[in-house]
A and B are shown apart, each in its own frame.
Chain A
Amino acid sequence: MPYVVVGIILGCLYALTACGLVVTYQTSGIFNFAHGAIGMFMAFTYWQLSGGWGLPWPVALLLVLLVLAPLLGAAIERLAIRPLYGASLGVTLAVTLGLLLFLLGLADAIWKPTITRRLPEILPGHQVKLFGVVVTYYEILVLVISVAAAAGLRLLFTRTRAGITMRAVVDDRDLTSRSGANPARSAQLSWALGASIAALASILIAPLQNFDQFNLTILVITGYAAAVVGRLKHLPLTVAGAMALGLLQSFAVGKLPNRWLSDVAPVLPMALLFGALVVLRPARLEAVRLKLGRDRQTMGVRPSMVLAVAFVLGSWVVGQMLSPGNLLTFGHGIVLGIVMLSLVLLTGYGGQVALCQMTFAGFGAYFMGKYGGSGGSLFGLAGAVLFPAAAGTLLALLVLRLRGIYLALSTLAFAYAMESLFFNHQLGYGGSLRVSRFVAHSQRAFLVEVSIVFALVALAVLAIKRGAFGRRLSAMNDSSIACVSLGMDVTGTKVAAFTIAAGIAGLGGAMYGGWQGIVGPNDFAMLTSLLLLLTLAVAGINVVLGATFAALYLAIAPIIERHTLANFTYLTVGLGSILLGRFPDGVAGGLSTAADRVRSLRRRENRRLDSVVAGDAVTAGFGEEVDVVGLAR
């Protein structure tokens, strides 16, 4: 019986979170990965107002829920979400994930994690006995608020014109404005509401959990699971799912033998999400526009060779110049670059959003460390590629039918589950594994080796892109329905893409381990996978050059961070991802567009010169018109 009470309370909190998610998805068509981060940020604001500055808690609470959270939500809609109208799913994913990273980095910078904080207790000490179980007033309050919120939202969506209009905007934005409603204002309202609900859920759940930034942000994942049960739109089903998850979790924690508990309890929310996604199979083969950025011409063989050699020589020179401390940071970025190359293949070319590349890298490092011997054997290196590749095949088979946000969610769940199930278990909490290096031994020599590996993998990825498999990947990214109707084996292509990408990531992981010398579970955290994906998206995810830029950025940013402000990397990458709504092609795409412009300008100069020489005014006029069209691109 006590488990039932705890389970119901947990379920209520999950339901509240999930309802907030469903609200924004239903009313703006965007799955808000930053939902938990918004709640976390507001919970910390609430702490600042009440605990930090000593406002009475009801005043602080109302101020947060009714003023600050709606303002934050509206501001997010105005600055980050509104440019997303008509954008591809990939870009909307990157923008809300970027928001998550940005808010997390910001909260971490403002509220230093070294201090322990507690939220003021609401109704402390009061409790009552119900059906033979002791229930605190706080728990009753949570129950009442959650039920009221869920019922209120349902009424809002089905009974009020404002709520119905919010749903209408998702259905058909143009028709909503033709009917006389302002879609932008409606979306803004819904984001304000969503932020307020996120804040409420976070503040209510905070006293039951560790009050730290990451923990509160990630709690939302059980909310994701409940929202998936409700297929992201059905509120009553969502609430029912949340209740079931809450009860399941409470019984699991209460009934499982202790020696399993430490392993199972932390991954339970993730496992539930993963299970809900895989079992419920919510996404059919949908014609979703998933493209991140425009397709670019693949670099030719010769220029890519030249760039590869230049890259290796350049990093050798840089390696000679850097101090040992900076050298370590610099090489760290280049090694991560290898992992990012796997994402160019999988996400950039193939359109499969994966948030678990560092997990595969971790598998690679693990194999190299365990079986690579002290000298870094070839067997270890081969295993570091093959073992993650096998895991990649397995994951691909599990998530075969998932696309878009569902795929992103399930890979996220996989990464988080592996973090506690595999890495914490095999490497021990705060533990470590010694990983040896293949061939080169000194730090500077190994940097050259790592650069060579990066260059070779980059050339290989380019070769894949030019070949038949690359064309299949791009076709799958464009429209898997069209591929199926043409008789192309989409399943095989997807599994192969995951396998190859996991293998590349594993190789990167072996190099990572070698570079660091010692690895621990924190090296392969889910958040790092997220950082890699977003850095790459900002740099240009569908070109190998983008991975190069991203690697160099991750090599240099921490050095800047050390000298300027904390969380510089998170903040800049997060901000960059949010800006992707306005510049979906990323840095590499922007450069290539700029290059096109310069080229077309030069062509225009030449042509004008020609026509002047020929004295042919008609040609001059024609040439100009053509180039104006070229410029408009």
Chain B
Amino acid sequence: MSVSPAELQALDIGADPAIAALEVYHLRAGYGRVEVLHGVNLVLPRGSVLALLGPNGAGKTTLLNCASGILRPTSGCVHIAGLHVNDVAPDAFARAGVCSIPEGRGVFPNLTVNENLRVFSHAGNIPYGLVQERAFTRFPRLKDRGGQMAATLSGGERQMLSMSRAFVAEPAVMLLDEISMGLAPLIVAELYDLVGQLAADGIAILLVEQFATLALKVADYAAVMRQGRIDIVGDPDEVADHLSGAYLGEMR
């Protein structure tokens, strides 16, 4: 049974502690004739951080695209707060409280910082003034850049701008794809502090990351994906022990 966008919007994703924020079952998806996900099962409990690790081409981004409505699965199901949402449009996902930040391009390059925030404000039901206030309180550096094109921001500032969606939309689920890509270690550490705070506020976070150690530090659970399937799920420590094998292709 599928839900209408309106139903999804009316839903308070974080409400029922017994129901997982995001679940995917037997998920198959791909691009054209190429199938990327060959039946993925994964559960993201409410208010927890799940680190999704794995080598390039494992299908991590594809999984995130399915979980944010950008890519329609060929079979299997995506549940958000227990509701089947396979056919729901991505903008309805966003308005319902799923905030997905794609890898390396979470901002509109030809819009100014303020205009970016203006577009982000579609997701939440709060006035633009408050949107600005929240974003600038968390990232004071963005305030000075208000009228500047996002394309001219530094990599770190750009990532801050894209992360500011977490504050303007008040999401219940965040899907983060490689937020550390190409950034200086200091900025990465700052961003991960932020992820920790968001998790402490009770937001469920699915974190895709190549730097395993970083992600495992903030995660409650970890999963390793390889060739379109989930290989290992468990505590971060457990998973860490198996990691090199998963990346280098050694069989357990």
Contact = CB atoms under 8 A, between A and B. Distances in A.
Interface string B153-191: 000000000000100010000000000000000000000
Interface string B89-105: 11101110001111001
A165 interface: yes
A180 B110 contact: no
A165 B111 CA distance: 10
A171 interface: yes
A177 B89 contact: yes
Contacts of A504: none
B217 to A, nearest CB: 27
Interface string A146-180: 00000000000010010011011011101111111
A629 interface: yes
Contact of B102 (A174, A182, A632): A174
B103 to A, nearest CB: 12
Contacts of B32: 632
B102 A178 contact: yes
B82 interface: no
A175 B108 contact: yes
B33 A171 contact: no
B119 A179 contact: yes
A178 B111 contact: no
Contacts of A161: 118-119, 121-122, 128
Contacts of B59: none
Interface string B64-86: 00001110000000000000000
B120 interface: yes
Interface in B106-150: 106-111, 115, 118-124, 128
Given A161-B119, A168-B108, A171-B111, A178 B70 contact: yes
B122 A180 contact: yes
A167 B89 CA distance: 20
A402 to B, nearest CB: 22
Contacts of A164: 111, 115, 118-119
Please tell me the size bucket of the interface on A.
20 to 34
Contacts of B111: 164, 167-168, 171
A175 B102 contact: yes
Contacts of A264: none
Interface in A189-237: none
Contact of B90 (A170, A171, A174, A633): A174
A171 B110 contact: yes
Contact of B91 (A170, A172, A181, A629): A181
Contact of A178 (B90, B109, B128): B90
A177 B123 contact: no
Contacts of B95: 180
A308 to B, nearest CB: 36
Overall SS of chain A's interface: helix
Contacts of A174: 70, 90, 102
Contact of A171 (B70, B109, B128, B165): B109
B184 to A, nearest CB: 24
B55 to A, nearest CB: 24
Contacts of A168: 108, 111, 115, 119
A171 B120 CA distance: 14
Contacts of B69: 177
Contacts of B120: 179-180
Interface residues of B, number: 33
Contact of A167 (B99, B102, B105, B110): B110
Residue in A168, A176, A180, A183 whose Cβ sees the most chain B Cβ within 10 Å? A180
Given A171-B110, A171-B111, A633-B33, A179 B123 contact: yes
Contacts of A181: 91, 119, 122
Interface of B is mostly: loop
Contacts of A175: 102, 105-108
A177 B91 contact: yes
A441 B120 CA distance: 72
B94 A178 contact: yes
Contacts of A179: 91, 94, 119-120, 122-123, 165
Interface string A405-445: 00000000000000000000000000000000000000000
A178 B100 contact: yes
A325 B39 CA distance: 66
A180 B94 contact: yes
A172 B89 contact: no
Nearest to B150: A171
Nearest to A157: B115
Nearest to A26: B110
A632 B109 CA distance: 36
A558 to B, nearest CB: 41
Nearest to A632: B33
Nearest to B165: A179
A629 B119 CA distance: 41
Interface in B21-39: 32-33
A168 B93 CA distance: 18
B108 A177 contact: no
Interface in A495-510: none
Nearest to A167: B111
Contacts of A629: 33
A326 B115 CA distance: 62
A244 to B, nearest CB: 26
A156 to B, nearest CB: 13
A457 B70 CA distance: 48
A165 B120 CA distance: 9
A172 B106 CA distance: 9
Nearest to A628: B33
B33 A180 contact: no
Contacts of A167: 108, 110-111, 115
A164 B110 CA distance: 11
Given A161-B119, A164-B115, A172-B105, A178 B68 contact: yes
A161 B128 CA distance: 9
Contacts of B101: 178
B115 A182 contact: no
B93 to A, nearest CB: 8
**Most A C-beta atoms less than 10 A away, residue of B68, B91, B95:** B91
B169 A180 contact: yes
B228 to A, nearest CB: 17
Contacts of A633: 33
Nearest to A160: B118
B154 to A, nearest CB: 19
Contacts of A182: 89, 91
Contacts of B128: 161
A292 B99 CA distance: 37
Contacts of B70: 174, 177-178
Contacts of B118: 161, 164-165
A633 B123 CA distance: 37
B181 to A, nearest CB: 16
A178 B94 CA distance: 6
B190 to A, nearest CB: 23
A526 B239 CA distance: 68
Q: Which 3 A-B pairs have the closest CB atoms?
A: A180-B123, A180-B94, A180-B122
Given A165-B122, A182-B91, 14 more contacts: A161-B128, A164-B115, A164-B119, A167-B110, A167-B111, A171-B111, A172-B105, A174-B102, A178-B91, A178-B94, A179-B165, A180-B120, A180-B122, A180-B169
29 contacts: A164-B111, A164-B115, A165-B118, A165-B119, A167-B108, A167-B115, A168-B108, A171-B109, A171-B110, A172-B105, A172-B109, A174-B102, A175-B108, A176-B91, A177-B69, A177-B89, A177-B94, A178-B70, A178-B93, A179-B91, A179-B165, A180-B95, A180-B120, A180-B123, A180-B124, A180-B169, A181-B91, A182-B89, A632-B32
